[in-house]
Amino acid sequence: MYIGVDIGGTNVTAGVVSNDGNILFQKSCQTLPFRGWNTVIQDIIELIKDVSNQAPDCEKVMGIGVGVPGLADNKTGNVMNCVNLGWQDVPLGKTLEKELNKPVYIDNDASVAALAELENGALKDTQNSILITLGTGVGGGFIINGKLYSGTNNLSSEIGHMVIGENFYNCNCGKNGCFETFTSATALIKYTRKLMEETKENTNIRNYIGDDLDKLNAKLIFDCAKSGDKLALDSVNRLVDYLIIGITNLINLLDPEVIALGGGVSKAGDYLLELINNKIHDKILFKDMPHSKVVIAKHGNDAGIIGAAMLCKYS
């Protein structure tokens, strides 16, 4: 058994995970990062102790894996940079090891989610595959030769910051044209809001939110697009067009077996896949050759815990 910890900007969730990647028990606490990293880590320690006590035999817990929403050095155990938490060069791994007397492994949260999908999800039995997480931003994880790939300096898989075009707003990183500014839930909301503010076009979206554009969300936009609403369709089709550009870039570069889509946007499920599959073949370089299969990730919100635990198994 292993302990998997998923650190988010709002909540930290820890769980006991079996050797084959099934969650046996989990519990969450608030992150409250404004209190400083020392206090947050102490809460994480108490949370891990709590879930460990729920394990069928806590002595069989072999290690602790942690996914963080930022850059993590999987050799030193340090969180190098995490904007959401305000952390810079935080010795997370060593602090947890000292307090809990178990080996600790850390990595980026999207990377560990890919490991979860490799263990018993959408990427199972693949040697070369990619997970793209489409949420507030866009992240990713690469599986190369059956292993999680982090790069020479643990800086790989920043899929969201591929520059794929010119956009009407800049990314949080300061650049213009980042993949996530076209394909994240945030991007979908921003573009839909722009259309609603700049045009007088009728849209069913107003039937749900009136003129309060702060109530816009990705699910509502997708639901209206499914019902044939033109403005919502324009927004969704724009997201899909840029998503296909990013996906085909990755296919042309890495030729993976499978590309799985996770995160909130992926909850559009088969509808999203149909839109992608209707267009993607035209963008592939070698049209007469087999190409990567695009699927929806399996584990949803549990991917962070499962993948973090699997760091212990595969490190």
Residues 102/63, Cβ–Cβ less than 8 Å: yes
Q: Tokens representing 235?
A: 């927004």
pLDDT for the residue numbered 304: 95
pLDDT in tens, 30-79: 999 999 999 999 999 999 999 998 877 777 899 999 999 989 998 999 99
Average pLDDT over residues 223-243: 98
Residues 57/19, Cβ–Cβ less than 8 Å: no
What is the average pLDDT value for the chain, to the nearest integer? 94
Q: Tokens representing 92?
A: 């997370």
Residue % of the chain over a pLDDT of 70: 100
At residue 26, does pLDDT exceed 90? yes
pLDDT for the residue numbered 208: 95
Within 13 Å, how many C-alpha atoms sit on residue 134's CB side? 32
pLDDT in tens, 71-110: 999 899 999 998 889 999 999 999 999 999 999 999 999 9
At residue 287, does pLDDT exceed 90? no
Give the C-alpha separation, 201 to 257, whole Å.
42
Q: Is the pTM of this model over 0.85?
A: yes
DSSP, res 86: T
User: Which domains does the chain possess?
Assistant: 2-116+302-314 (3.30.420.40), 124-297 (3.30.420.40)
pLDDT for the residue numbered 286: 85
pLDDT for the residue numbered 109: 92
DSSP, res 292: P
Give the C-alpha separation, 283 to 248, whole Å.
7
pLDDT for the residue numbered 100: 95
Spell out the residues 6+ positions from residue 87 whose beta carbon is closer than 8 angstroms to its own.
Answer: 33, 37, 70, 79, 81
Give the distance from CA 244 to its chain's centroid: 18
